[in-house]
Structure 1
Amino acid sequence: MIREQRFINDDWTFAFGEHPGAEAEAPDPEWYDVGLPHSFDLPDFREQRFYVGHGCYRRTVEVRPEWIGHWIALEFLGVFQAAEVYINGRFIGRHEGGYTPFTMDISSAVVEGLNDVFVRVDNLWNPRLAPRAGDYSFNGGIYRDVSLIVADRVRIDWYGIGVTTPEVSRERAAVAASVEVVNDEPRPIQVNVAAVLSDPERSVASLPTVRRTIPARSRVVVELEGAVANPILWHPDQPHRYKLTAAVSVDGIARDSQQTSFGFRWFEFTADRGFFLNGEHLDLHGANVHQNRGGWGDAGTRASIRRDVAMIKDLGMNLIRGSHYPHHPYFAEECDRQGLLFWSELHFWGIGGENVEGFWFASAYPIDEADEPDFGESLRRALREMIRTHRNHPSIITWSIGNEAFFSDDKVIGKAKALTSELVALAKGLDPTRPVAVGGAQRKGFDVLGDIAGYNGDGAELFMDPGIPSVVSEYHGVRGEGPGEYEVEWEHGVEADYPWRSGKIFWCAFHYKSIADGAGLQGLADYWRMPRRSYHWYRERLRGIAPPVFPEPGRAVALRLTSDTETIPTDGTGDARLLVELVDEHGIRVVDDRAVHFTVVEGEGLFPSGRSITLGPESHSLWGGAGAIELRAYAPGTQRIRATAEGLTAAELVLAAIGPRKAPRAWRLPPAAPSVAEPPSGQGEASLAAYRPVAVSSAEPAHEGGNATLTGSGTYWRAATRDPGEWLAADLEFPYEIKRVEVVFAEPPAHPWTVETSVDGRDFERVHRGEPESQALSAYLAFPARTARLVRISFPEKPIDVEELRVY
């Protein structure tokens, strides 16, 4: 039996550009040295703009003599967003879709000895490829792990073991394993397929062997069944996992074996009583998590994923929503291991606003009919890949179809809903054991298309007791850089608990990088994973842990440098998180935010910018007297890091990089990306307020504030009282340059009214005061361009019913 899988994250070279024909040429010595995971935009300090174009990667892989004749493949766990793979100049295949794993069969293209691997990547906006829009950055690159896999011609397929638990109780659990066996031989093969169940300490059950004949060059799915007495149930408080080891043999000779982990649990979302796990009610309280991070962007290591999950667990939360795309398979594995439920989401994604074609501000669903077939297939393909690679994780309690796909052009909204329904049905067909959610479904009737409705923002108050299983899939409470306020300010009444609501998911755990200027600053921790004060507020509320003593202004005299680990693996899966603190003469951290410079003075350790990096207030990478950065190493040896700051005693730290010995390498690192794409703006005709969240002073039933941002609905907002001071505010969600506001009243404006704008939701500036001089139902206000995130209509004497508020 032969099966080998090893990471090949090290020893790549890279160059920006498309480089036509380079796949068939000798390697260019002028290319730059990189390790994986890698992003086009390093270092990443959360700048709004990013490089959009091509980048090419190259390295050699050695094929041993005994591998020839076996199945050999490259596994990519994530490339954004289109990849062409070549071996020895020969085209192997193309994969489109930036968030799901895939393999490339290179068996027939390799030779004994060294083989050239060439990967051309682009992150060009593609109208036929999801996502077409989203509040995020879409950096290109091979930003997740790459592995080389070698296996027998008769083998278990890639991610070919699916485990379900059709019956679970505390006394007995049934196990059903689907094992997909491949026969690449030119003749039929009779195989025996068996499986053993074990927990960390012992074997607990054997599944009876099944014998099947597989035709030449084909595959079959073999079903195995068994049971376990008195299973230990998986729960966030006791995340116990079992292993299933499946084996394939031919004529008594083992040909392949693979393992997968799973857990015994059962759960239910209900419309009237909330969520239940293992028969007990569990109030879901979680956070949304994006994958990008300070310095390294999307290209995080497994160690960084492990820390992210641990931070959410440390808060006392029990759920993570993988916003808004399939995450690294290791993310779900860590949720399994650490004990967090996971909402795994597809990237059918909208952002709203101008709906401008050509960049990720476009309609979530294509507006050109010619783009529809490929776009729909890109989501179907990604859904299949997500479910196949994630299906055995006990932490996953739903497949979600996307987020705010209602931000599609009105003329195609019916098609967007039809595709959503089709994807729901496909997910249920691929995995009947889990319900399917529709995230961000607070507008246009998307909420009833799945088994679970996820309501964002003002959906928390628009959909009270909706009669279907539901969660608040996003709610806000903090904003801005730096330490922020301690107490979280919840919006739209989300602080209230209701028996019919399964839970609520905070937006969001960490700051993130976005194409929308001013967005991405709602984290409980910042981009560099430094906990803000609100992080400790949540931890105190959920776990009863008092906050630390927050640093105060003082006079720093020295630096203190620490690491979360003493060793770094050199295979690209790990790193060391370095924390630098500015301390006074007593060793107490003080608020003295001068810039700190890190340097690798010994070893081949790398920061995202190379052998040195500077953190400081200007890049919002150091505040409150501290900053953090992750260090990697792709060669073994001592790593000595030095931190310096003007006028302070320096600090040093010694770590060890662990891995196979290799010759020293003089790293030649890529420069900054050669150019950045400027997103089109000012071209769209859609109101920036259309379908956006609305906050109000009060509202009559059936006349909620959300009616005022529905386009052409004929509904309207009406205040619950006739008292002075009532108001309605549309949240554009991101700062925009606005220059026109239109108000459509549902009744002639018989009382004064004002229009105000705000960037932060606290300080408002008046744009216009309307007097009851005209009986016209519409008011058109033009003014010099100004930046605004909120537009508010206030009524100093008596409220007026508002049918629609439009912002341009």
Structure 2
Amino acid sequence: MPSTCKSLINRSWKFTYGDPSGATEPGYDDSDWYDVGLPHSFGQPYFMEAGFYVGRGVYRRDFVVEHPDKRVALEFQGVFQDADVYVNGHHVGRHLGGYTAFEMDVSEAVRPGINQLTVRVSNEWNPRLAPRAGEHVFNGGIYRDVSLIVSEKARFAWYGTAVTTDGNRVEIATELVNDGDTPFEGQLDAVVSLDGIELATVSAHISLEAGEATTHRTQLLLDEVRQWHPATPVLYQLDQRLSNGEQASTTFGFRTVEFTTDGGFFLNGEHYLINGANVHQDHAGWSDAVSHAGIRRDVAMIKECGMNFIRGSHYPHHEQFAAECDRQGLLFWSELHFWGVGGHDAEGYWNASAYPPHEEDRAEFEESCLRALTEMIRVNRNHPSIIVWSVSNEPFFTDAEVMPEAKKLITRLVDLAHQLDPTRPAAVGGAQRGGFDQLGDLAGYNGDGAALFHQPPWPSLVTEYGSAIEDRPGVYGPRYTDGVEIEHPWRAGIALWCAFHHGSIITDMSRMGFIDYFRVPLRSYYWYRNKLRGIEPPVWPREGTARALRLSSDTETIGTDGTDDAYLRVELVDESGTVISDERTVTIEVLEGGGLFPTGTSIELPVVDGIGAIEFRSHYAGVNVLRASAEGLEPATLTILATGGPEWTGQPRKLPSGPPSRRYRPGSERLLSANRPVFSSGSPAHNVTDYSTEHGWSGEWVRVDLEGAWRLRRIEVRFGEGADVPFVIETDDGAQVAAGLTGGGPARVELDALLAHEVWVRFPAGPAELIEVRVYGH
């Protein structure tokens, strides 16, 4: 919700790794620091490595204040994950939490003219801060936008307007604050419009004592309304103005959502089948430091293939993500980062217990979750695309002794979501183990949860299916697992795991998207587009030797405020301009201009199946001339015009070449298979990995999905009583690691760090009983 004067300050930052003494002082000499623009990541350039920089970094820049008598604030859309902010050497605040926006009042610290801003950032693992675990990477930095906000002392609170709709009625709750020393008397005007045409207005007298904060409530009635729907994403605008000139604009939509136990999902009163994918936020090279244009393209690619839903896995995304879903017409699942990951290790890294095992850490950890949920909902509550608040992903990956506490926290989060926004359901994501599915309004089942929970006694959605490690070009076909292709009337819908390749601390788990890290589709993407939209797949590149290079962009002009970029595509083609399935490295260089790749002024780009891609951005205005070259081929050139901001004059810059180290902590040998998805012939076999019962499973084969490639050290299999039948133990590449007869007792296989993603137990002579499978490794 913009204020009267809100300006991005993404340009012209200085940055260094570490935490130098004295760096918060205005006179500190930062001339030898790196020159960076925002958004920026510690890990940049980053290309899906399992390791990443863990430590500290400091950002500095100047900003100008022309009216110090007004309220001055700084807005950060996201800093991972511990930010200390200083203005002119004065500490103005600290924010803990890496995925939610926050505002800091700096009015007491600023002075007329030039002011100095320093932000000390840490991405070190914190046992008292969510997330404690997750299969993503956790690159630090100021990786989302920063803005300077200057307003009157009597003003609209930051993201302080909540709009709800009921039929043709618009209900408005507006938080007003007077930070001044004198009372405010004035008028509040509100106007609702559609496509620039005013539809309804209302005015009210406002009286605010000095230091007072209040919530003003009013409503407007429209003659008729147009509902927001993925097919018709109609957006209304609320403009509010105080008589002192303060303004606030809020975009909203009319729509209703309902999840039912027996009938699935209803949008605007009509049954609507959800079909979508999970999306992580990082992009090739830039890591989490993604532009608004990059977000727009991500949403557009999901829309283009015919899907209607995105699950924001597994943390609050930039508000721009929900805004794009609003505009383009996709349903959005907004999720909190109370997160668990299988194969968890001891304390100290992002594969620990999801909930703290040590009592002294629990109160602060729970507070971090409650605070982040509050921030997520406050910032995003007016977006019609958001149909649910999710409070977790797979929290059952928690140490057994604190599982009851984890469930209590889930209940607290669900209750808080209801309190903050009673118009949307609160979901428990990744609820397929441990009874977490009964704690919210809606259960999200991942993996084998699709098969385990048929017609549960509460509304449900398959939030993850189809985990498949695959590189481009990949296989043309669906990724259906556990029968998700069958439409059950009680199931709200399904979401593919996942849309895009992404960084991960787990080897190979990063390569499960049907679009690669560089935002080039795999062939399965085109299968879904054909299925959902009836568009035939393109002609696949034929094998051969390229004769030329082609360099293109999705735009000829980019902005320079940090929100824009160009998506470049390089292709290896034959004499007729047809893409050839040739693989080689192409170098793209900036011959002229101030633009950058994530690697600096040049990049060596891998070209696979004849296609490569990367995003290009600039914080300086001017013409950028780019040249792509590869051995044996004539270079190709491209011109991109950057507009707005300071002109590029060839001024010297010190560019970072990458972080000083990339830390990867695989950990010591541990149990990897607990609560992992299990696929089988016959009835569901989740018993073999939950270790909570002596009841087994009977069938011809069982496949334990370790949800990533691990180095296996040991496999232990316990069989049921009965006939002595042959068994075979294999890994996902079909390699047999053991064979024998079940009557010989438990099978134990020692392995020499065998890299594998799955473990199979087969009974080639017919069904047999299996009690449990335990897989150890790191």
TM-score (norm 2): 0.97
Alpha-carbon distance in structure 1 between the residues aligned to 2:704 and 2:471:
23
Q: 2:668: which partner in 1?
A: 682
Q: 1:139: which partner in 2?
A: 139
Report the residue type matching 2:57 in the other structure.
Answer: G
Query: In the TM superposition, what is the alpha-carbon distance from 1:127 to its structure 2 partner?
Result: 0.5
Q: 2:211: which partner in 1?
A: 217
Counterpart check, 1:780 vs 2:748: yes
- 1:43 pairs, out of 42, 45, 68, with 45
CA contact (8 A) 2:622 2:647 kept: no
Q: Deviations over 1:13-41 (max 9, x none)?
A: 11000113211142321001001000111
Runs of 4+ in 1 over 6 A off after TM superposition: none
CA contact (8 A) 2:80 2:99 kept: yes
Q: 1:736: which partner in 2?
A: 710
Counterparts of 1:600-679 in structure 2, within 5 Å, are: 600-616=590-606, 622-662=607-647, 664=649, 665-679=651-665
Partner of 1:405, secondary structure, is coil
CA contact (8 A) 1:694 1:705 kept: yes
Partner of 1:421, secondary structure, is helix
CA contact (8 A) 1:401 1:437 kept: yes
Alpha-carbon distance in structure 2 between the residues aligned to 1:535 and 1:375:
39
Query: In the TM superposition, what is the alpha-carbon distance from 1:791 to its structure 2 partner?
Result: 1.2
CA contact (8 A) 2:669 2:713 kept: no
- 2:462 pairs, out of 472, 475, 483, with 472
Counterparts of 1:154-193 in structure 2, within 5 Å, are: 154-165=154-165, 167-168=166-167, 173-193=168-188
Counterpart check, 1:150 vs 2:155: no
Query: In the TM superposition, what is the alpha-carbon distance from 1:132 to its structure 2 partner?
Result: 0.3
CA contact (8 A) 2:128 2:356 kept: yes
Alpha-carbon distance in structure 1 between the residues aligned to 2:269 and 2:664:
52
Q: 2:129: which partner in 1?
A: 129
Report the residue type matching 1:205 in the other structure.
Answer: A
Give the aligned length: 773
Greater shift, 654-663 or 452-461, is seen at 654-663
Q: Deviations over 1:211-241 (max 9, x none)?
A: 3432321210100111112101111011010
CA contact (8 A) 2:74 2:148 kept: yes
Alpha-carbon distance in structure 1 between the residues aligned to 2:648 and 2:446:
53
Q: 1:31: which partner in 2?
A: 33
Alpha-carbon distance in structure 2 between the residues aligned to 1:517 and 1:130:
22
Counterpart check, 1:57 vs 2:59: yes
- 2:226 pairs, out of 218, 226, 232, with 232
Query: In the TM superposition, what is the alpha-carbon distance from 1:519 to its structure 2 partner?
Result: 1.0
CA contact (8 A) 1:354 1:683 kept: no
CA contact (8 A) 1:478 1:488 kept: no
Query: In the TM superposition, what is the alpha-carbon distance from 1:4 to its structure 2 partner?
Result: 0.7
Q: 1:513: which partner in 2?
A: 503
Alpha-carbon distance in structure 1 between the residues aligned to 2:737 and 2:234:
59
Q: 1:722: which partner in 2?
A: none
Alpha-carbon distance in structure 2 between the residues aligned to 1:12 and 1:474:
39
Counterpart check, 1:764 vs 2:734: yes
Report the residue type matching 2:480 in the other structure.
Answer: W
Counterpart check, 1:588 vs 2:583: no
CA contact (8 A) 1:473 1:504 kept: yes
Report the residue type matching 2:705 in the other structure.
Answer: D
Q: 2:421: which partner in 1?
A: 431
Alpha-carbon distance in structure 1 between the residues aligned to 2:304 and 2:404:
42
CA contact (8 A) 1:68 1:112 kept: yes
Structure 2: any 5+ residue segments left out of the alignment? none
Counterparts of 1:694-733 in structure 2, within 5 Å, are: 694-699=678-683, 704-719=684-699, 726-733=700-707
Query: In the TM superposition, what is the alpha-carbon distance from 1:784 to its structure 2 partner?
Result: 3.1
Greater shift, 50-59 or 665-674, is seen at 665-674
Greater shift, 546-555 or 476-485, is seen at 476-485
Greater shift, 25-34 or 328-337, is seen at 25-34
Counterpart check, 1:116 vs 2:90: no
CA contact (8 A) 2:561 2:645 kept: no
CA contact (8 A) 2:593 2:648 kept: no
Partner of 2:278, secondary structure, is strand
Partner of 2:327, secondary structure, is helix
Alpha-carbon distance in structure 2 between the residues aligned to 1:595 and 1:785:
32
Q: Deviations over 1:167-201 (max 9, x none)?
A: 22xxxx11111110010112333343231100113
Alpha-carbon distance in structure 2 between the residues aligned to 1:161 and 1:551:
51
Query: In the TM superposition, what is the alpha-carbon distance from 1:3 to its structure 2 partner?
Result: 2.1
Partner of 1:21, secondary structure, is coil
Q: 2:16: which partner in 1?
A: 15
CA contact (8 A) 2:3 2:248 kept: no
Percent identity of paired positions between Structure 1 and Structure 2: 51
Greater shift, 213-222 or 517-526, is seen at 213-222
Shift of the 780–712 alpha-carbon distance from structure 1 to 2, 3 Å rule, reads: farther
CA contact (8 A) 2:311 2:495 kept: yes
Shift of the 41–783 alpha-carbon distance from structure 1 to 2, 3 Å rule, reads: closer
Structure 1: any 5+ residue segments left out of the alignment? 617-621, 720-725
Partner of 1:539, secondary structure, is helix
Query: In the TM superposition, what is the alpha-carbon distance from 1:749 to its structure 2 partner?
Result: 5.8
CA contact (8 A) 2:87 2:115 kept: yes
Q: Deviations over 1:233-252 (max 9, x none)?
A: 11101101000111223xxx
Report the residue type matching 1:4 in the other structure.
Answer: C
Q: 2:105: which partner in 1?
A: 105
Alpha-carbon distance in structure 2 between the residues aligned to 1:82 and 1:783:
41
CA contact (8 A) 1:261 1:392 kept: yes
Alpha-carbon distance in structure 2 between the residues aligned to 1:753 and 1:556:
50
Query: In the TM superposition, what is the alpha-carbon distance from 1:558 to its structure 2 partner?
Result: 1.2
Query: In the TM superposition, what is the alpha-carbon distance from 1:705 to its structure 2 partner?
Result: 0.5
